[in-house]
Structure 1
Amino acid sequence: MAPSATAVAGELPPALAGLEPAALWRHFGELSKIPRPSKHEGRVLDWLKKFADERGLEWQQDGVGNIVILRPGSGGGESAPPVIVQGHIDMVCEKNADTQHDFMQDPIRLVRKGDWIAADGTTLGADNGIGVCAALALLELPPSETLPPLECLFTIDEETGLTGAFNLDGGMLRGRTLLNLDTEDWGDVFIGCAGGGDSVLALRLEQEAAPAGSVGVSVEVKGLLGGHSGINIHEDRGNAVRMAAAVVEQVLQ
């Protein structure tokens, strides 16, 4: 499958035509044209700065790259406490085995499948592109809208370590209320979540020559549902690593 043709700036992808809210999907179409692997978000950061400059909005950036765009309160909300609205700008970059795509150069090719927007052979980047674009749509609302001062915070490198969030310069922010837009359940608000932990496991192995006459065997496990460890781990789905290990264990016995 060949990569899509060069995307044209300002041109709405056909897959997004007619979708509402129009501002959100317009921004998502533009964002999908910008390569943004984790730790390579420079082009998106430039795009966000241009967005702010074109609308006369103040922005600040910290030492690791996180950027906050400020919108004054409006419509009677001028003196309300500021609210932080946050999303991350990097995306998971995976593709099907038969898909030709360079995540450092190529735009995401959007397709519509019934009521769903998907990508053609690659990850979509809706995590957290939809959240980012929802924040941009908020920043564009007219002055007649009743809104508190907004501090729209866009963090880097969430997918491979949360380094943007961990190293955030909090001095850029005044708000005491933060709405994180990185969720799978649209319209619901979560007030707490499970934590996470990392483990580094090491096993010392001694290598030795394979016995004479040994034959190498390739074990491939495929066709499983997959899923996110933070959401689906309790559903007892097949795990390719565990299945492959079980096969090897049986062979050794």
Structure 2
Amino acid sequence: MRIDIEDLHVAYTGRTVLAGARLFAAEGEITGLVGPNGSGKSTLLRAVYRHLRPSAGRVLLSGTDLRDLTPVQTARHVAALPQERGGDFELTVREVVAMGRTPYKRAFAGEDATDREIIAQALADAGMASHTGRRFTELSGGERQRVLLARAFAQNPDVLVLDEPTNHLDVRHQVELLALLRAGRRTTLVSLHDLNAAASVCDRLHVLHDGTVAASGPPREVLTPALLAEVFGVRAAVVDHPLTGDPLIAFDHRAPADGTVEEDTAAASSGS
């Protein structure tokens, strides 16, 4: 399924967070949202998984306005991993993951063979198959993250909406998660702070800045030294990753994060 976001506007207490954002996530592709803190990434994702209602604009799922779908219909198509992880569940790991099957069950209906197979696969994909009997409250932050990701997988959605899914994960599990997203080939809309991870895993990037989309396209076209200076306020060169050939951003951590970085954009471009 494809996601189209048309002219989205969101305001909180008189402050405009999104001001006419337009972007799309193509079917079967991983589409990344990047941008500075406060640029509207999480707000936009909340509108996609219906945690908030925009003041104007539409979110379309393969041409259908999400507002025309029931919550259950939406949950069968869209699974979300928000930054707000919810409270501590007094449940086992398996019980939390099994919650992902709720949109497919009638009230008080038990699990069937299909449910059990999907739950087991979701646990395995998230690397939590050996933790099924542990209490969710006993887990580390990274383990909880993987359990909640498994719950999203268990929904068997057409679309994944992930808000900073690599938070709390160590390097190994970050790499495994991003590889899993690539292998799954679901339509995925994901926000990432790590620009190098975004360059590696995403087919397309949308850069949010001051509530609007500042740039869109393949990572190599979007993540230029000029854009990094203008939007993120950093001096950087973009080179080829020595192992994968993906764009690799080399930041100058000694440069001040102010207007002076723009003066060095031309010199940084020589590394791209």
TM-score scaled to structure 2, two decimals? 0.23
| Structure with the larger helix share | 2
| Structure with the larger strand share | 2
TM-score scaled to structure 1, two decimals? 0.24
